[in-house]
Amino acid sequence: MAEKEDFARLISAYQLSYGNELQAKVKRLDGIIGDRHWLSVGTYKENLVKGILRDRIPKKYEVGTGFVLTYREGSRVLSRQIDVLIWDCEDHSPLFREGEFVIVPPEACFAAIEVKATLTSASLRESLNNLDSLMNFFPDHHHLRSKVLHRSVFAFSLDGDLTFPDGVFNALRASYARSEYLSIDARTKFSKDPERWQLPWISSVSVLGVGNINCELWNVNDEDHVIHTAYRATAEDALDAYGFLERRLLMDLILGYQKSYARESRPGLTSLLFANKANPVQDQWYMPVENISITKVGRLSGEENAEWVSKAYVARQPRRTAKKTSKKTTKSKKGGKGK
């Protein structure tokens, strides 16, 4: 048992070195020019993530930036621009290419990542809206049915006004509720499909040195439900935010929806992917759609189940915009004639 635990720590430490490398390079840059929100600094950080991913993902995929495009009934359907677009270059050709900038068909796109220098509530909502634009390609593309589309947000720091995980949970909930690309009802429908449950939800939100929020499928009240789980970056030998991102990305690219069967079909690969999770510290979790009375989580019972249930977080409902008061009413109140 000790040998197995040491191996898991070794794999985690190996992936942690990539997160440390990202932090060291950014710290070196900030030390020279200061911690400012320069456009060029944001581009530099985005390129850092691309560079590491190019070395880590299978060579059948390319890493670039750009758009996804198709034509439907004579009309153009175009995604928003994606910071990091991972596409299958082995079986597909780009519709357009200039350097690392590409436009690819939906069949070629397997992962989309938004990179932020500093994550704020506004930038998180913007990132999710960009990633949600990819959902335009799925409702009527049945050949994409069993495809896992990895969509995540990676940030180098967290804005002081955005708390983790509560603030991130609330921003996620608000973005899901107000998305211009996919309604809550449509998300719920996707969630009930065992081959597409992951599609409408963010795969992960990762912030270096802070933590990670992961989309998972849990058994709650004896039924499968999509939940978002938060992990804090607290233990020195635990996976950091980049480690979580890479692990989830590789699992989605290589294993897809067959994760539960992968230990038998690909034992060598899964021994590495599933081992690198030493001491993740669970913080809170919430269910993005269903508001149910949670009594049971998985196969737990007694005090252990009660502890997991107590960690369920009820995110705030999105604020409703207050109706503007007319000038006439305002004047009448000032004059003392209003009610």
For 225-270, the pLDDT digits (tens) are 899 999 887 655 556 788 888 888 888 887 765 555 455 555 455 5
45 within a domain of the structure (yes/no)? yes
What residues have CB less than 8 Å from 107, skipping those under 6 apart? 88, 92, 141, 143, 144
Q: Within a domain: residue 41?
A: yes
Q: Is residue 227 part of a domain?
A: yes
Number of domains in the chain: 1
Q: What is the pLDDT of residue 48?
A: 87
pLDDT of residue 66: 96
339 located within any domain = no
- At residue 233, the pLDDT reads 75
3-state secondary structure of 119: strand
Residues of the chain short of pLDDT 70, as ranges, are 1-21, 23-42, 139-146, 234-239, 256-282, 317-339
pTM of structure:
0.81
Give the per-residue pLDDT at 279.
43
Is residue 153 within 8 A of residue 129, CB to CB? The reply is: no
| Residue 188, φ and ψ in degrees, nearest 5 | -60, -40
Domain that holds residue 266: 2-334
Strand 211-220 with 223-232, pairing: antiparallel
327 within a domain of the structure (yes/no): yes
Q: 168 lies in a domain?
A: yes
Q: Is residue 24 part of a domain?
A: yes
Distance of CA 79 to the CA centre of its chain: 17
